[in-house]
Structure 1
Amino acid sequence: MKLLLHTTLAIFLLTFISPAVQGEPNSNEQGYSLNVEAFHSKVLNEQRTVVVQLPKSYADNPDKQYPVIYRLDGAGNLPMMNAVLESLQSQNAAPEVIIVAIENTDRLRDLYPTANQDPNGPVGYGGGGEKFLSFITTELMPMVESKYRIHDYRVIEGASAAGVFALYALSQKPELFNAALTYSAAVWWNYGASAKNTVAFLKSSKELDHFIYTSIGNEGAPMRPYYDDMISGMRANQPAGLRWKNEAYAGVSHNLVTAASSFSAYHHLFLPAYLRAQQFNGDIDSIDEYYARVSQQRGETLVAPEWVIRELGYHYVGLQNYDKAIALFTHGIAKYPEMPDAYNGLAYGYEQMGEYKKALESVNKALALSTSEHDGHQIYVNRQTRLQSLLKE
């Protein structure tokens, strides 16, 4: 069996990133730089291989650090991951990431924390999860994070048995992993031991600033009852601060749940660079808090652009919540006192309220800060003319 696994891996690496030379960058068909890292693990006492995929901007940004996804079950997952992440990145809804794809040697041994005693599966298999986690945290992570520009936002991701391990890794090392993405995690293993462990972990955590994604397809017994019990337990014991998304895909088979779930998992994991109205809780101080969280995910400092604050103001004008709208427009001016659009936003809010004198004062400030070449200049002029006419009436 081990010979077959190693042969399959060798064929895959040759076709996926040929020519593959250990430690030297190669590229795949999607244009990403890939490194094959093969080394001897003292913890596992065997040779291990990972494929490290670097962002397309990596070489051009020598000072930039990137979040990292540790993807279980190897580099065969990279094409789908790239397609989904690129679609989100095109809308600035996800950062570029480094992906560390961990190839398997003995999957059942490594990915299940306990040996299985349930006759519905292979009895006696598993139980190597603790040692495998030690390999990742004491050997793999130090090697990867010393060699590549990774900041400390780490995601662990996997399906089926690997989903079980992802939940286990987060529960055992919450200080190392910020998120676990799991697809149809095989929590039935050993009479639901991992499901019970996950619930116990959440129950013992008063606060958890992490993200968990769980999903399932059309699974039946023995899987579904254990999974449903886990979800109920997680819901009843969700600690403060935890972001958690659970989804069920009716009619989707076990092996297709990853494909069905991936977009949603990344979409809910990563915070967009542009705060949307539906994500805003109405507290102006929360804008800075949101961007602090975005910055923490991405490893770089991001602040709310002027137009984002102004769009929030427009949203509340549409709701006729003028007090909140004016507060937001005023906040935008305080943050960006030299930007004419900020004053025009406030002028718009006052105009909609019927406060034409205040609106005129604001649009006059916008005009004072702009020139005829400014994109919004004619809009300011038109508003000024309209307001002057309204005040004469």
Structure 2
Amino acid sequence: MINKPLIILTISLIMIIHNSLFSQSKKDQQYLFEIGLVDSLYSKTLGEYRKIWVHVPESVTSDKNKKYPVLIVLDGDTQLLKIRAILQQLEGVKVPEMIIIGVDNNTNRLRDLTPTKPHNPSPASPLPGGGEKFTQFIQNELLPYVDSKYPTTPYRTFFGHSIGGLLVLNSLFLNSASFNNYIAIEPSLWRGGDYDYLKEYSTYLKNTQFFQKSLFVGVANTMSRLNLNLDTTSVLKDNSRATEHIRHILTFAKTASETNQNKLNFDWKYYDNEDHNSVVLRSTYDALCFLFSWYPENKNDLMKIKNADTPVDEALNIFNKRNKELSSHFGYTVMPEEQVINRLGYQLLSMGQSEKSYAFFKINIDYYPKSPNVYDSMADYFESEKDKENALKYARIAYEISGEDYYKDRIKKLESNK
């Protein structure tokens, strides 16, 4: 006779054990990398909670005092992953590490990202025209919230695609105090209806001073699907509604390029083989390289630092010159990266430039006196010089700061080799 209650109990136990193991495996699962910590804040301006995704560089774990420029990304649910992938290839070399804030615009995207309301809105589509209020939310609520919770600096970049690009331009012209850089990819300048964005923004370009502001505009080839044999010159003479989008952007880009007296640092690029959506990757890469063209190290300066004929004082002056330049661009004092100095110290040591190597390890201690790593590096320097007494001195300081077994073991090893 089959004992049905026993079978049911057995199956139930198996399912409970399986679910428990599955949940545990999900909990312990390791990812290649994770991005976009979910956060949210209540907006009095919007009268609703707004979700954001926050990505903080991994280097913050090794330097709790480090702060980062901020990149605000509209349509964060679709754009954050793309932008993070690009930054991963560029940061530290062509651009600084940045905190990325992806803003959720899923509830009513058209309302959030269009600055003006038409006189006769279509009842079939969501009501547009909340862009000014959404900009107030970003300036007065989101940015202060992010600054209070995450390790930020006041240097900020604003990114938007399509109608998000439209809001980015509107922010530059009407509310430019909050951001240094603006990236508008395929901005929907044609969407004004009764309001002529192109005309208004062109007027701002001619009559406003944009001191220390930069703008990049990316333009896709939205003509290819029309089969009209048009190019970026001939399309400007076309009056069809089908080409309205690209005509508005090209005209804006031409006006911005020809208006030199406004001090706006401007560039734009047309992508013949990209459409409205695919253009985001390539244009964002180009935008970041343009906006931070001043960031990469000067290779000639680096070669001169490593040149054995360059005196120590001159090498240090060359190195410090870049930090002064970065500080000028960022608008606040920028300290050189600990790992950059460290790497340079070891490179010079391996090249037999002992005195110069010591100088760079020394300034790393001056810049980062609470980092055990800088003292450990100095211990390496003295060990290479056969000065075990000073090597022990710096290894002990590293251990006093960190208490880690690695430094404790190193002290024992140095003491045993005395």
TM-score (norm 2): 0.59
- How far has the Cα of 1:207 moved from its partner? 4.5
**In structure 1, how many angstroms separate the alpha carbons of the residues matched to 2:108 and 2:52?**
14
Bigger-Rg structure (1/2): 2
**In structure 1, how many angstroms separate the alpha carbons of the residues matched to 2:181 and 2:71?**
9
- 1:300 aligns to what? 334
- 1:24 aligns to what? none
Which residue of 194, 197, 201 corresponds with 1:194?
197
**In structure 1, how many angstroms separate the alpha carbons of the residues matched to 2:131 and 2:148?**
24
**In structure 2, how many angstroms separate the alpha carbons of the residues matched to 1:68 and 1:171?**
20
The one-letter amino acid paired with 2:137 is F
Is contact 2:166–2:184 with CA below 8 Å preserved after alignment? yes
Extract unaligned runs of 5+ from structure 1.
1-18, 20-26, 278-283, 309-337, 341-372, 375-393
- 2:271 aligns to what? 249
Residues 297-354 of structure 1, C-alpha deviations (whole Å, 9 max, x = no match):
8x6234999xx9xxxxxxxxxxxxxxxxxxxxxxxxxxxxx759xxxxxxxxxxxxxx
- 1:324 aligns to what? none
Is contact 2:108–2:126 with CA below 8 Å preserved after alignment? no
**In structure 2, how many angstroms separate the alpha carbons of the residues matched to 1:70 and 1:121?**
31
SS of residue matched to 1:158: strand
- 2:82 aligns to what? 80
| 1:237–1:142 distance in 2 versus 1, CA, 3 Å | same
**In structure 2, how many angstroms separate the alpha carbons of the residues matched to 1:158 and 1:240?**
23
The one-letter amino acid paired with 1:151 is T
SS of residue matched to 1:57: helix
- 1:7 aligns to what? none
Is contact 1:202–1:238 with CA below 8 Å preserved after alignment? no
Greater Cα shift, 47-56 or 71-80: 71-80
- How far has the Cα of 1:294 moved from its partner? 4.9
Which residue of 49, 52, 55 corresponds with 2:54?
52
Q: Percent identity?
A: 27
Q: Is 1:265–2:267 an aligned residue pair?
A: no
Residues 215-236 of structure 1, C-alpha deviations (whole Å, 9 max, x = no match):
1111341112211221122123
SS of residue matched to 2:184: strand
- 1:115 aligns to what? 117
- How far has the Cα of 1:38 moved from its partner? 2.2
| 1:33–1:109 distance in 2 versus 1, CA, 3 Å | closer
Q: Is 1:103–2:126 an aligned residue pair?
A: no
Task: Give 1:320-335 correspondences, 5 Å limit.
Answer: none
| 1:137–1:291 distance in 2 versus 1, CA, 3 Å | closer
Q: Which has the higher helix share?
A: 2
TM-score (norm 1): 0.62
Residues 96-152 of structure 1, C-alpha deviations (whole Å, 9 max, x = no match):
111110001211111010124699998884211111011111111111111111110
Is contact 2:209–2:264 with CA below 8 Å preserved after alignment? no
**In structure 2, how many angstroms separate the alpha carbons of the residues matched to 1:28 and 1:169?**
40
When the two chains are superposed, the root-mean-square deviation of aligned CA atoms in Å is 3.9
Task: Give 1:209-288 correspondences, 5 Å limit.
Answer: 209-220=212-223, 221-239=243-261, 241-270=263-292, 271-275=294-298
Is contact 2:220–2:271 with CA below 8 Å preserved after alignment? yes
| 1:87–1:124 distance in 2 versus 1, CA, 3 Å | closer
Extract unaligned runs of 5+ from structure 2.
1-22, 24-28, 224-242, 301-317, 345-354, 358-383, 386-418
Q: Is 1:290–2:325 an aligned residue pair?
A: yes
**In structure 2, how many angstroms separate the alpha carbons of the residues matched to 1:224 and 1:28?**
44
**In structure 2, how many angstroms separate the alpha carbons of the residues matched to 1:163 and 1:99?**
17
Which residue of 128, 131, 154 corresponds with 2:130?
128
The one-letter amino acid paired with 1:290 is E
- 1:343 aligns to what? none
- How far has the Cα of 1:59 moved from its partner? 2.5
SS of residue matched to 2:196: helix
